[in-house]
Structure 1
Amino acid sequence: MLRRDEGQAARARGEVEPDSGNAREPDGYVKDAVGWLLAYDDRHGGDHVADTAVQIWEAERRRITGEDKQHLAQAAEIGEVAGWLLHDSARFREARVTLTEAHSGPARR
């Protein structure tokens, strides 16, 4: 059994079949985005993908409107990955801020 992050990276690399059916699961976008980030991290390290992860997270936060809890949860998950990648890149202050903001909601910078 693959760990969650390994499974997402394998999915992004095409090593694991995507879920079947025409209806895409609600978190499919997050799995794809996170999978690509983790696959790139596996190959090149967090230093090369952390900024991209932060940009994706910030773009998703800007799209949140009203009480869209599903989108809020998706953006938070991308924020968590961005925080982990920042931490792996030894950007500890940025990682702490990103993880805190990812867990606290859609506050704007």
Structure 2
Amino acid sequence: MPYSLTEMRILRELASNSADTAAALARNLSLDSGYLSRILTGFEQRALISREPSKADARQTLLRLTEGGRAAYAALATAAIGNIESMLARLTKDEQARLVEAMRVVQQLLS
């Protein structure tokens, strides 16, 4: 099943352990909590995530990727790397170097 960009970003956050609660995901990704809740419910129904109460704070629910969620994320990451490699392969070494430098400048300007 294809994933939206937002769904892919959520899977990445969970896979990298950058966020483990809905509140942290919403904050990190600047997502509306209602929209995020619907996505997480869908993930849970598709067995991509599990929810468990936090031992440190009973008010919080921790989100974890299931084995299926980790497999889905791994497939998405592999496909993304393949797409990037395919795009870069069309460029000469000089063009690749210019692209990397341009990306570095954009990152500096936006930081």
TM-score, normalisation: structure 1? 0.28
Larger radius of gyration: 2
Greater percentage in strand: 2
TM-score, normalisation: structure 2? 0.27
